[in-house]
Amino acid sequence: MAKRKTTLTLLLSLLILCAPGFNTFAAGQNEKYQLHFKNVVVVPDENFGEFISSFSLRLEQVFEGKAYKLIQFYEIPDNEIKAQLKANGVELLDYIPHFTYFASIGEKLDPADLSSYEIRGIIDVDVDFKLAPMLYDESYPDYAFHGAENLELMVSYYSNIDSDAAVNALTNAGYIILRRDDDGGYVHLLATTGQIRSLAALPFVVFVEPVYPTPEPENYTGRTLHRGNAIAVDFNAGRHYDGTGVSVMLQDDGMIGPHIDYEGRIGAQFLSYNYGDHGDHCAGIIMGAGNIDPKAKGNAFGATLYVYGAAPQYPGFTNIPNHYNTYDIRITSTSYSNGCNAGYTTLCRTMDQQIRNYRSLMHVFSAGNDGGSDCGYGAGPGWGNITGGHKVAKNVIAVANLNYQDELSSSSSRGPAHDGRIKPDLAAKGSSVYSTTNPNSYTYKSGTSMSCPGTSGTLAQLYQAYREITGEGPAGGLMKSLLLNTAEDLGNPGPDFKFGWGRINALRAVQVIEDNRYDSATIEQGEVIAHQFEVPENTAQMRVMVYWTDYFASVNSNWALVNNLDITVTDPASVVWEPWVLNHFPHPDSLDKDAERGADDRNNVEQVTLDYPEAGTYTLTVDGVTVPQGPQQYFIIYEYIPDGVTLTYPIGGETMAPGEDETIRWDAYGDDEPFTIEYSLDNGENWVLLSDNYNGSLRYYNWTTPTAVTGHALVRVSRGESVGQSIEPFSIIGVPENLQVDWACTGALHLSWIEVFGATSYEVFMLGEKYMEPIGTTTINSFIVENISSSGTYWFSVRAIGENDVQGQRAIAVEKTPGTSGCNEVDALMVSVPTAEWGIFQSCMDVSELSVKVKVKNYGLEPITNPDFSFQLDGGDVITESYIGVIEPDSLLFYAFAQSIDISSIGSYQLKTWIDYPPDQNPDNDMLEIPIEVIEGSSWYPGNKQTFDSWENCLSVPMCELYTCPLEGGWINLTNEVFDMSDWRVYSGSTSTGGTGPAYDHTQGTGDGHYLYIEPSVLCFYKESIVTMPCVDLTSAVSPSMSLWYHAWGSDIGRFHVDVFAGSDLISDAVEPIVGNRGNEWKYLEVDLSPYVGQVIGIRFRGITGGGQGGDFAFDDVSILDITAIDDITADEGRFSIYPNPGAGIFTITSNSIEVGGCSLKVIDMFGRVVYQQSVSPDGTGINKVIDLTAHPRGVYIVELVSEKGAFKRKLSLR
C-alpha cells in the first residue's frame, strides 16, 4: 500500500540542500548558529545585508498579506525589541534553536528599519523543514492510509493565522477536511502521497505529519506506596485530603460503570461506546470509593471524574479550552500509546501549549509498556522507548511502573526523550493493582496504565490540599515540581532514565505546601536572580529544584527546550554547587550512568542536592541563559529531608483483620544502618519485636497481623535514636463474612452475617449519595433495615465493633435488587439447640442430666408475645413450657427448659424442639430435629500429645461427604451429611493442590510425618468438617491448656474453630478463630482450659473451607498442657525455675545453667503477645531475676529464656 524507504537516523539525514540562504551543517562550522530541524541541521548564511537590499513583499508567497520567513539573530532579542519589530510589521512566532524565530512579515515593513536589530540572516522556510521524518523519507505508515491513495495528515499552520482562513484555503485547494482543532492550530485532512510536498509548500503551512497510530491501552498497596494514605487519614485529627472538589479527566476505552464505587462522582461521560474495562480500572484507581470492597479504595476518593474516549483523536484534549472552565478540569489521566519515541509532535506541542495557557492544568500519562523495545533512539533495545509524542512533552508528567516494593517493572518504558530529555518524570505503583471493573466487581491489572491514574489521583489530593491551605488554586507547574522534588529517589542516585526523579511521595509534597517551602519568580533573557534560603539543623538531604512551564516548541525543531535557565547553589562556605545532569549519548553504558553535576541545556527542570549539609544561609542563583520566549515564570521547591524515620503506614485509624498480610511503610534517608521494627497491642505499654536488623535500604516490611482483637495497636520503626511511630492507634478485629439479604418485604429487609470473634456490636451501612453511610447498630449478627422501597436497589455492609475503641473493616457489600422475597411479617425461628449440637458425645462426659437450651429468634417484623416451646426425646413425652414475655423483631432469646434429658447410655438419640405460636406465617422454620450419638470414649490427661505420625494416610480424593476417613486413638470424624459435610484427612508430605497446604508435618519436619487437613478439592467449598478428640480429664489440673500447631496457607483458606463442651454448655470459639491465609509456615495456637479445672470436657475442631481450591488447612501436634505435666513446653525443667508458680504477680526466675554472657527473658501470653521483655546477665551464681506481672490479666503465660546454649520455656500461671 505504501511506498517504503529505509528510515534515516538524524545523524545520517544531514543532506545537502540546494535552497538559497543556508548550508547543511558540517564539522567545523559555527555550532552556535545551527538550526536543529527534524530532518536536517543547517546554518543560515549571514545574508541580512543582501536581504534588505532585495526584499519585496510582492515577490514573496504571501497569505493574508504576510510572508513567512526564518529570522536568525546574533543574540536573543528582548521583549522591547520584539515589540518594536511587531510595530514595524515583523511578528516573531515560534523559536528554533539557535537564535532563530519563524516570523511573519507584513506590508508595512520597510527593510531598512531592520538594520538596528542585530539580525544575522533571513531565510526561506524550506519544505524539508516542514515535513515529519516519515513523510520526508517517504516511509508512509499503513495506519495513516484511507483507501488506496489518500493519507490522513495533520497540517499545522502559523500561530498568528486565523483558523477559518486556513481551513477555507485548504478547502479551496481541494483538500478534504476531516476535523479541525482551532486551539491547537491544526487540521486533519486527506491528501495523496503526490500532494504532500505541494501541501507543505503552502505559505501558511508550518508542519505536516501523518495522523497518529490508533491509541492502545497500556496496563491497596498503591495508596500506601504513594503515601497518599498519610494525607487522607482515618482519624479525626489528621489530614483529610481525598481530592474533594477536584475535577479529573479520564480518556480511555469507553464509558465506565456500572459500579457503586463511582456513585455520585461522575460529572459526565462524553461518549456512548464501551470497548472494555481498561477505563473502569483506571477510574477506580483515581477515585474509587471502595464502597463494595474497602480495600479497593482509590487515591482521590473524593474527586469528580469526567470521562472521554481516547481512540482515535483524544477528544478530551480538544475540549480542554471549554471544559477547563465549564467543568473545572484540572488534571487529565491518559493511559494510551501514541507511537514509540515519536518525537516532539503536534499533539506534544498542544500538551505544552495547554499547560502553559491554562494555569492550573496538568496532563498525566503512562510512560508505556515497551521497556524492551528498540524505537530508534540509537542505544538499542531497552532505551528511548516512551510510547507517544504527547508523553514526551516538557510540561506533562509521564509515569513509570513500580511494584509494591518500589521495584521497576521490566516492561516499563524508559527514556530519554528523542532529544535527550529526562523521561519518564516519575514512578508509581502499576503492577498488580486491584481496582474496579464492571459491573460492580474488581480485578487486578498491571502496567504503566495503572501507574498513570495512581499519580493523577494522588495529584488530585495535593490540589485539594493546596487550595484548602492557601485559599487559591495551584499552578500546574508548581504541582509537578512539588512531586518531582519530593519524590523518593530510586534506581541510580539522582534522576535517571528509568525512574525519572523517583517514586511519588504525597506526604513530603503536602508538607512542603504546609511549610510554605516554595517560591516563584519571572526572568528575562540574560537576567540573573539570587534567592537566599535557610537550611535547618538535622537535615539529611537538602534538595533545591527550579522548574519552569516552558514555552511550547516548534514542531519543526528536533530540540524541545525553548527557554533555558541555569541554576547553582552557593553554600555558607562559598562553595558553588551545580545541578545534576544525565548523559544522553545513545549508548546503554552512557544512558545508565549516574547523574553528574554540570550545566543542563535540555530539561526545563534543574535540581541541586547536598547530603548532610551544614545548617545556615544558602544562595540559589537562577540565570536566564536563553529566554527567547520571555518573560519566563519559574518555581522553586525547597525540600529538607530530616535525619530520622517517619512511619507512613499504619499511621492511625486503620482497620485490619487478624492474620491479614499488611505492608508496613516508612520514610528515612540513607541505607547504611538497619532498622528495628516492632508493634504493640496495648497502646505502647508493651512492644513485640518483628526484626532488630532489617535491611537499611528497604522502606517496607511485610507483616502478618497477630491473631488478636484490639483498638490500641501501634507500629514503630526505629534506627539508632530516631523513631517513627503510628500517630494514633489502629484496630485489629475480624471482618464479618457471608453478609446476605435473608428476606425482603415491601418496606423492610433482613440482613445477617457470621459472628466475629471479639465483637460486642456491629455497625450497619447503606449506600448513600456517594459513600457507604452508617444506618444503625446491633449487638447480634443480624439487622432489619426499615423504610425502604421494594422497587429500589440498595447496597449494604457491616463492620464489627469491639471493646476499647475497636472498629473493624467493612465487609464486602451486598446488593438488594428490586422486588420482595421470603417475606413473613410474623416469623418465629428455632435457630439451634446449643447443648445438643455437639453431635457425638463420649461416655466419659457427664450427660446424665443434659440441659435442653434453645436459641430462638424473631425473624419477622412484628413482636412475638408469649410463645410456647416444646421438646421431645426419641418419641417420648412432649415437654411444653410457656415463655411469658415479648421477643422483639430481630432479637434472640436463649431459653433453658426446666427439665433435662438423660443420654448417658451408649446409642443414638433424636431430639426434637419446636415453637408453637399461632400467628406464625412460616411454620417451616419452627422445628429442629437434632441427631445425637453417644459412644464409648477414652480420656486424655495433662501431658498427653497426639502427633498423628503412626496413623494411616487417607486419600486426597476430590470428594466431600462421599468420602470417609477413619481415625484412630479415640479421635472421631463426625458423620457426614448428619453432623457435617466432609472429613478431616490424615496425610503426609505436600497436599495435592499447589500453592496451599503444608509440604511436611510439624513434628518431624519431613514428608514422612502426618497431620490432619481439610480438602476443598473440586467442589468442596464452604463445607464444614468436625473432628472430636478424646475427653480431657481436668479433675486434677492446676492451670491447664491445649496447644496445637496449625498451617493456614493458601488464597482460599476458610476458618478454623476450637469448641469446648463443659457441663451442659457448648462454648463455641474457646479461642479466636483462625481465618484466612497466615503464611506458608506452621504456627502455634494455645487454648486456656483453666476455666474448666475440675471437669471432664470435650474438645472439637471445626474447619470450614473457603471458596476455592487454595484452602488446605492443617493442624498437628495436639497437646494437653499443665504446670504439673512434663510436656514440650516444660522439657528440660532443670534449666530454670519460677517461684511461686502459680503466683499472684511477683515471680522470681532463677537459673544456674547460664554461667557466662547473657540471655533474653520474655513473658508471652496466650495470644502470642510479648508482655515482658528484658536482657538479663548472670551473677556469680547464675540468673536471679524478679519480675512484676501484677498489672496483667490472670491466666497462663509462657516464660522464655534464650541464650547461646538454646531457648528454654516454662509455663507460668498468674492467679
The 3 state secondary structure assigned to 244-301 is: CCCEEEEEECECCCCCHHHCCCEEEECCCCECCCHHHHHHHHHHCCCCCCHHHCCCCC
Residue 12 has pLDDT above 50, yes or no: no
Q: Count the Cβ atoms, other than its own, within 10 Å of residue 868.
A: 13
| Amino acid of residue 218 | E
What is the CATH topology of the domain spanning 1133-1214?
Answer: Immunoglobulin-like (2.60.40)
**The amino acid at 800:** A
CATH of domain 221-515: 3.40.50.200
Choose among 889, 871, 748, 736: nearest CA to 802: 736
Instruction: State the DSSP H helix or E strand holding residue 317, giving kind and residue range, or none if neither.
Output: helix 315-326
Torsion of CA 670, 673, 679, 683, to 10 degrees: -70
Query: For 144-149, what is the mean pLDDT?
Result: 89
The tens digit of pLDDT for each residue in 614-628 reads: 999 999 999 999 999
Least confident of 165-169, 494-498, 1017-1021: 1017-1021
Provide the H-helix boundaries in 487-636: 506-514, 588-591
The answer, yes or no, to whether residue 26 has pLDDT greater than 60, is: no
Query: Does 1125 or 203 have the greater pLDDT score?
Result: 203
- Residues near 695 by beta carbon (within 8 Å), at least 6 away in sequence: 674, 675
Q: CA geometry: angle at 970 spanning 965 and 975, to 5°?
A: 40
| Grid coordinates belonging to 351 | 500538551
Grid cell for residue 323: 471544559
Q: Could you tell me which residues come within 8 angstroms of residue 1048 by beta carbon, excluding any fewer than 6 positions away?
A: 659, 1056, 1074, 1076, 1077, 1078, 1079, 1083, 1113
* Contact yes or no for 299/305 (Cβ under 8 A): no
| C-alpha torsion sign, points 448, 450, 451, 453 | positive
For the stretch 277-325, pLDDT in tens is 999 999 999 999 999 999 999 999 999 999 999 866 789 999 999 999 9
Mean pLDDT of all residues in 263-274: 95
Cis amide prior to 584 (ω within 30 degrees): no
Q: In sequence order, what are the residues at sequence separation of 6 or more whose Cβ sits closer than 8 angstroms to the Cβ of residue 862?
A: 825, 826, 889, 919
d(CA 385, CA 380): 10
- Predicted local confidence at residue 1157, as pLDDT: 57
- In angstroms, the CA 525 to CA 527 distance is 6
What are the cell numbers at 973? 470424624
Pick the CATH number of 939-1121 from 3.40.50.1980, 3.40.50.300, 2.60.120.200, 2.120.10.10: 2.60.120.200
Query: Which H or E run includes 84?
Result: helix 79-87
Whether the predicted pLDDT of 163 surpasses 60: yes
pLDDT over 80 (residue 6): no
Residue 213 corresponds to which amino acid? P
Say whether pLDDT at 62 is over 80. Answer: yes
SS3 91: strand
- For residue 295, the model assigns a pLDDT of 95
Average pLDDT value for residue range 669-691: 91
Summarised one tens digit per residue, pLDDT across range 977-1002 is 999 999 999 999 999 999 999 999 99
For 792-826, b where at least 16 C-beta lie within 10 A, e where not — what string?
A: eebbbbbbbbbeeebbbbbbbbbebeeeeeebbeb
Query: What's the confidence (pLDDT) of residue 1135?
Result: 67
| CA 126 to chain CA centroid, nearest Å | 52
Q: What is the pLDDT of residue 514?
A: 97
Residue 838 Cα to chain centre, angstroms: 45
The rounded distance, in Å, linking the Cα atoms of 502 and 634 is: 21
Do β-strands 362-366 and 329-334 pair in parallel, antiparallel, or remain unpaired? parallel
* Kind plus residue range of the DSSP H or E element containing 15: none
pTM metric for this prediction: 0.81
The whole-angstrom separation of Cα 47 and Cα 122 is 7
Domain ranges in the chain with CATH number 3.30.70.80: 140-210
As a whole number of angstroms, the distance between CA 374 and CA 370 comes to 8
Instruction: Answer whether residue 1018 shows pLDDT above 80.
Output: no
Please report the pLDDT score of residue 1184 as a whole number. Answer: 81
Which residue intervals of the chain bear CATH 2.60.40.10?
740-816, 828-935
> Is the separation of the CB atoms in 906 and 841 below 8 Å?
no
Return the residue matching grid coordinates 503552502: 202
Query: Please, where in the chain does CATH 2.60.120.200 lie?
Result: 939-1121
What DSSP line would sit under 634-649, residue for residue? EEEEEEEEESSEEEEE
Question: Which helix (H) or strand (E) is 85 found in, with range?
Answer: helix 79-87
Cα separation of 345 and 147, whole Å? 24
Phi, psi (rounded to 5 degrees) for 296: -100, 15
**Percentage of the chain modeled with pLDDT above 70:** 95
Distance in angstroms (rounded) separating the CA atoms of residues 750 and 860: 9
Q: What is the model's pLDDT at position 1154?
A: 57
Please check whether residue 571 is in contact with residue 614, taking contact to mean a CB–CB distance below 8 angstroms.
Answer: yes
Mean pLDDT of the chain: 91
Distance CA 1209, CA 1200 (A): 4
**Residue 1123: predicted pLDDT:** 66
Percent of the chain at pLDDT > 90 equals 76
Q: Give the helix/strand (H/E) hosting 1092.
A: none
Residues 6+ apart with CB under 8 A from 513: 462, 465, 466, 469, 470, 482
Q: Distances from the Cα of 633 to the Cαs of 526, 1053, 1114, in angstroms? A: 14, 58, 66
**Rounded to the nearest 5 degrees, what angle is found at the Cα of 583, between the Cα atoms of 577 and 588?**
145
Return the C-alpha cell found at 503. 517514586
pLDDT exceeds cutoff 70 at 495: yes
Max Cα distance, the chain (Å): 129
Chain centre to alpha carbon of residue 1168: 30
* Cα dihedral 645, 650, 652, 653 in deg (nearest 10): 170
Residue limits of CATH 2.60.40.3080 in the chain? 1133-1214
Structure confidence at residue 715 (pLDDT): 97
What kind of fold does domain 645-732 have according to CATH?
A: Immunoglobulin-like (2.60.40)
CATH class for the region spanning 828-935: mainly beta
Distance of CA 303 to the CA centre of its chain: 17
| Res 848 pLDDT > 80 | yes
Rounded-to-10 torsion of CA 402, 405, 410, 415: 50
Q: What is the per-residue pLDDT for 984?
A: 97
What kind of architecture, by CATH, is found in domain 140-210?
A: 2-Layer Sandwich (3.30)
Q: State the sign of the Cα–Cα–Cα–Cα dihedral 1125, 1126, 1127, 1130.
A: positive
Q: Which three cell numbers stand for residue 3?
A: 511506498
- Asked if residues 439 and 402 have their Cβ atoms less than 8 Å apart, the reply is no
Contacts of 87 (CB under 8 A, 6+ apart): none
Question: Please, what's the b/e burial string for 737-762 (b: 16 or more CB within 10 A of its CB; e: otherwise)?
Answer: bebebebbbeebbbbbbbbbbbbeeb
Whether residue 658 has a cis bond before it, omega within 30° of 0: no
The CATH architecture assigned to 740-816 reads Sandwich (2.60)
Question: pLDDT by residue (tens digit) across 889-925?
Answer: 999 999 999 999 999 999 999 999 999 999 999 999 9
Which residues neighbour 476 within 8 Å (Cβ) at sequence distance 6 or greater? 330, 355, 358, 359, 360, 361, 362, 395, 549
Please check the confidence at residue 1134 and state whether its pLDDT lies above 70.
no
Q: Tens of pLDDT along 706-719?
A: 878 899 999 999 99
Q: State the first-to-last Cα distance of the chain, in angstroms, to the nearest integer.
A: 91
Higher pLDDT, 750 or 1052: 750
pLDDT above 80 (res 13) = no
Ranges in the chain annotated CATH 3.40.50.200: 221-515
User: Could you tell me where the DSSP H helices lie in 471-567?
Assistant: 476-486, 506-514
CB-based contacts of 54, cutoff 8 Å, min separation 6: none
One-letter amino acid at 313 equals: Q
Is residue 11 over pLDDT 50? no
